Amino acid sequence: MITDRVLLLANSLTFWLVPVVTNLIFMRMMIIYRTRSNLIRLLTVCCVLLVLSACNGTREDRLVEREAHVHARESELVTLFAELVAQKKSLEDQSTSTHSDKTGKNPDSQQSDCLPTVNSAFFTKTDAGSQQIKNKIVFGSLEYVYLDPPGLEFSARIDTGARTSSLNAMTLMEFERDGKPYVRFTLKNPQTGEMMEITRRLRRHVKIKERGDREAQQRPVVRMRVTLGSINELIDFTLENRSKFKHQVLIGRNLLRDLAIVDVSQRYMTKVDGIMPPVDTTKQ
C-alpha cells in the first residue's frame, strides 16, 4: 500500500514538475536570446553613431577649411583694392601736379576726369599739318575750331577735364516752334566783335556744378557741327555765359575721346581742314 502511494505521488509530481521545469527552461532561453539580440542591436547602433560622428567631423573640417580659404581670399582682395586706390590717387596727384606746372589753374574745367597728356618729343608730323601718336591726333591746349553755325573760326580752349563742350551765350531765350523746343542765343563774332544771333533746337538740360557753387546750375544743350583739324563731328554744346573767360569755345571730352591726345605744352598745332560753307542757323 505504501509503495503504491509513493508511486502515485511520484507520478503526480512528475506530471506537475515536468511542465514547470520545461517552462522555466524555455523562459530562460528566451531571456538569453533577447539579451543577445538587444546586445547586437546596441552594438549596431553604436557602430552607426561612430560612423556618423566621423562623417560629421570630416564635413566640419572641410567647412572650416573652406571658410578659412574664403577669409584668406577676402583679405587678398581687400589688400589689392587698397593698393589700386593708392595707385590711382598717386597717378591723379601726379597728373594734377604736371598739369598745374604747365598751365596753371584752369577755371574752365568742369570735372577732374582727364585724358592722358603727352610729351611733344614723341610727336610725328603728318601731311595735314598736325601730329599723331598711335593713330590719334595731338592737339595743344589752344586750337582753332570751325563752328557751323555760324560758319566761323574761333579760338578754343581744349580741356580734357570737361566732359561736355561749352559755348558762350550772352543772352538765352527758350521758345517753342511747331511744338518743339528751341533756344535763341547770341555769340560774339571773333573777327568783327559784333553780336550774332543763333537759333538751335533745344536737346535737353544738364546740371553742372562749378567750383565754389553750392548748387548745380541747369544749362541748355544744343547740337552743332565742329571741325577741329581732321575731325568733323556733330556734338553737344552746353550754353553758358563765358564772358569772364578769354575763349568763347571750350572743347571737352565728348569730341576728344578715342580720337585725340592733348599736349598742354603746345598751342595751335593744327589747321582747320575741309571747312564747309555756313548753313541756315535755324536748322537742327
Claim to verify: residue 198 and residue 68 sit in the same structural domain: no
Is residue 141 located within the same domain as residue 255? Answer: yes
**223 and 154 both lie in a single domain:** yes
If one counts the domains in the chain, the total is 2
Name beta bridge partners: 240. Answer: 168
Q: For residue 175, what pLDDT band results from cuts at 50, 70 and 90?
A: very high
Same domain, 70 and 155: no
- Among 53, 69, 104, which residue terminates a domain? 104
Share of the chain above pLDDT 70, in %: 65
Whether 205 maps to a domain, the answer reads yes
Q: What is the pTM of this model?
A: 0.50
Instruction: Say what the pLDDT of residue 183 is.
Output: 95
Give residue 83's pLDDT: 79
Say if residue 257 is in the same domain as residue 138.
yes
92/124 same-domain check: no
Residue percentage of the chain with pLDDT more than 90? 29
- Partners of 205 in beta bridges: 220
Are residue 131 and residue 255 in the same domain, yes or no?
yes
Residue 274 lies in a domain: no
Q: Sort 225 into a burial class: Cβ within 10 Å, 0-12 / 13-18 / 19+.
A: middle
**Could you give phi then psi for residue 104, rounded to 5 degrees?**
75, -165
| Mean pLDDT for the stretch of residues 239-261 | 89
State how far the Cα of 152 lies from the Cα of 208, in Å rounded to an integer: 27
The β-bridge partners of 144 are 155
Q: Are residues 49 and 130 in the same domain?
A: no
The yes-or-no verdict on residue 208 having pLDDT over 60 is yes
Indicate whether 69 belongs to any domain.
Answer: yes
Q: What is the residue-averaged pLDDT of the chain?
A: 76
In-domain check, residue 280: no
Q: What are the angstrom distances between the C-alpha of 1 and each of 9, 12, 13, 135?
A: 12, 16, 18, 144
pLDDT at res. 282: 38
Domain boundary, last residue among 79, 104, 129: 104
Both 96 and 190 in a single domain?
Answer: no
Q: Is the pLDDT of residue 10 over 70?
A: no
Asked whether residue 237 falls in the same domain as residue 188, the answer is yes
pLDDT tens for residues 61-120?
777 788 777 777 777 777 777 778 778 877 877 776 665 555 444 444 444 344 444 444
Task: Tell me which of 63 and 127 has the higher pLDDT.
Answer: 63
Amino acid identity for residue 225 in this structure: R
Q: Is 116 helix (H, G, I), strand (E, B) or coil?
A: coil
Together in a domain, 163 and 202 = yes
What CATH number is attached to the domain comprising 192?
A: 2.40.70.10
Domain membership flag for residue 269: no
Mean pLDDT lowest among 33-47, 73-87, 180-194, 254-268: 33-47
- Inside any domain, residue 277: no
Sequential DSSP letters for 192-229:
T--EEEEEEE--EEEEE--TT-SSPEEEEEEEEEEEET
CA angle 222, 255, 275 (to 5 degrees): 80
The reply to whether 111 falls in a domain is no
Between 221 and 41, the more confident residue is 221
Evaluate whether residue 109 is within a structural domain: no
Residues 98 and 125 in one domain: no
Residue 5: pLDDT band (50, 70, 90) is low
Q: Which of 72, 104, 136 is the last residue of a domain?
A: 104
Residue that wins the pLDDT comparison between 280 and 30: 30
Structural domain for 63, as ranges? 1-104
